[in-house]
Amino acid sequence: MTVAPSTEPSGAPTLRDDALLQVRDLKKHFPITQGILFQKQVGAVQAVDGVTFDVAERETLGLVGESGCGKSTAGRTITKLIEPTSGSIVFDGKEISGYSRSQMQALRNDIQIIFQDPYSSLNPRHPIGTIVGAPFRITDSSLTDKEIKSKVQSLLERVGLNPEHYNRYPHEFSGGQRQRIGVARAVALRPKLIVCDEPVSALDVSIQAQVVNLLEDLQEEFGIAYIFVAHDLSVVRHISDRVAVMYLGKIMELADRDTLYSKPLHPYTHALLSAVPIPDPDNQNRRERILLTGDLPSPINPPSGCVFHTRCFKAQERCKLEVPAFREVAPGHAIACHFPEERKPFDPNAEGRVIRSTMSAEEQDQQLPVDAHPDLVQQAHQDDRSQFR
């Protein structure tokens, strides 16, 4: 079934005025400069390019997409670890996009972040009692060491760690335990929002489920909202109330979890879902596969029109010329596509049909690969972690 395009030129999706977090047309472009004495900007990495969404209290919004599509940059911009290029971030009724570092410090009780690699985000020279106790020490100077110790120990117990291990160092814990320490530190001050940036991607599958369950329990108990970043659609499906699918700095589709997984409309979502393995081998072989050919194009020079057109199996001439508006097609279901279509993600009658991009191999080769600046990215992420150590 093809969905009729909206007549709205740029009809934004319905947004809730009472949401805890309201992000509007947020952009983060990293400047590329040249020159030694006089640095001149010669371009920009358009890592996040106009994203709009809300997160309600106690809600989990999943943010998915291929590596390099801007998920971490979006998370770091929302938490103001990096400054946005433009756009609005309203948290708890306050416009924080222009907040200084010290103004943000006062908000650190309310907004926290959990990183993918718990080891590099925990200071290896401090015992975990000091790491998890730091937020208490910083925010309430009247607390005695004994009081802090007791708070930390009950927190360690709450996240499933032995409170007697208070004096142990991060290297003495397994990956899963270290992520529990990261979770304990993040929830210490009962934040209203936590950005979880691939918190389980580095963990074994069996451990992933335990950490996800822990996050869910803490959400229930403390009323926390999460932005849960992942490239694994199965994990996101488990934890999210709503899901936003990102591609090359933009949101392609946003819907409640059940709608997104059962009635996706965007060709990129179709492709991602068609790659998710299903347990039944018979159906696995019979369903449709949509192959994403070519690399993710460079965010320095994104494709014209719809940024997905170079890899989209439905692309037409219009897609190269006209940027599709991010618009609502049903209550709470927004997409950015000129030709949205309902497609069953697990249609066993598809008989193993394989669908590829309509673009020629030469055209795809003209697209530069992503991650032009891996060193910069590494450094930037390192700097962020140091703020939370």
Is residue 324 close enough to count as binding ligand SF4 by CB under 6 A?
yes
Is residue 302 close enough to count as binding ligand ADP by CB under 6 A?
no
Is residue 267 close enough to count as binding ligand SF4 by CB under 6 A?
yes
Is residue 180 close enough to count as binding ligand SF4 by CB under 6 A?
no
CA-closest candidate to residue 216, choices 60, 16, 72, 380: 60
Is residue 113 close enough to count as binding ligand ADP by CB under 6 A?
no
CB 89 within 8 A of CB 26: yes
> Helix (H, G, I), strand (E, B), or coil: what is residue 318?
helix
Query: According to DSSP H, which parts of the chain are helical?
Result: 71-78, 101-107, 118-121, 128-139, 145-158, 175-187, 205-222, 233-239, 257-262, 267-274, 281-286, 317-321, 361-365, 374-388
Token output for 48:
């996040």
Is residue 255 close enough to count as binding ligand ADP by CB under 6 A?
no
Helices then strands, each counted (H, E), the chain: 14, 14
- How many angstroms separate the CA atoms of 47 and 296, rounded? 12
Binding mask 49-78 for Mg ion (x = CB under 5 A): -----------------------x------
- How many angstroms separate the CA atoms of 163 and 51, rounded? 41
Question: Least distance from C-beta 59 to ligand ADP, angstroms?
Answer: 21
Segment near ligand ADP (CB under 6 A); pick from 62-70, 134-142, 208-216, 342-350 = 62-70
Question: Least distance from C-beta 116 to ligand ADP, angstroms?
Answer: 9
Is residue 315 close enough to count as binding ligand SF4 by CB under 6 A?
yes
Q: Which of 22, 52, 60, 73 binds ligand ADP (CB under 6 A)?
A: 73
Is residue 314 close enough to count as binding ligand SF4 by CB under 6 A?
yes
Q: Which of 71, 287, 309, 327 binds ligand SF4 (CB under 6 A)?
A: 309
Find all residues with CB under 8 Å of 31, minimum gap 6, and list them. 41, 43, 44
CB 67 within 8 A of CB 51: no
Question: Least distance from C-beta 19 to Mg ion, angstroms?
Answer: 24
Helix 145-158 × helix 175-187 angle, to 10°: 120
Nearer to ligand SF4, 161 or 359 (CB): 359
Is residue 298 close enough to count as binding Mg ion by CB under 5 A?
no
Is residue 173 close enough to count as binding ligand SF4 by CB under 6 A?
no
Q: Please provide the distance, in angstroms rounded to a whole number, between the alpha carbons at the two ends of the chain.
A: 51
Q: How many residues does the chain have?
A: 389
Segment near ligand ADP (CB under 6 A); pick from 63-71, 153-161, 212-220, 304-312 = 63-71
Segment near ligand SF4 (CB under 6 A); pick from 92-100, 134-142, 206-214, 308-316 = 308-316
Q: Which of 287, 338, 343, 381 binds ligand SF4 (CB under 6 A)?
A: 338
What distances in angstroms separate CA 387 from CA 21, 127, 180, 383, one per listed residue? 22, 17, 19, 7
How many chain residues touch ligand ADP (CB under 6 A)? Answer: 19
> Helix (H, G, I), strand (E, B), or coil: what is residue 152?
helix
Q: Which of 308, 329, 370, 384 binds ligand SF4 (CB under 6 A)?
A: 308
* Residues found near ligand ADP in the complex (CB under 6 A): 30, 45, 47, 65, 67-73, 299, 370-373, 376-377, 380
Residues at the site binding ligand SF4, with contacts judged by CB under 6 A: 267, 306, 308-309, 312, 314-315, 319, 324, 337-339
Give the interface with Mg ion as residue ranges (CB under 5 A). Answer: 72
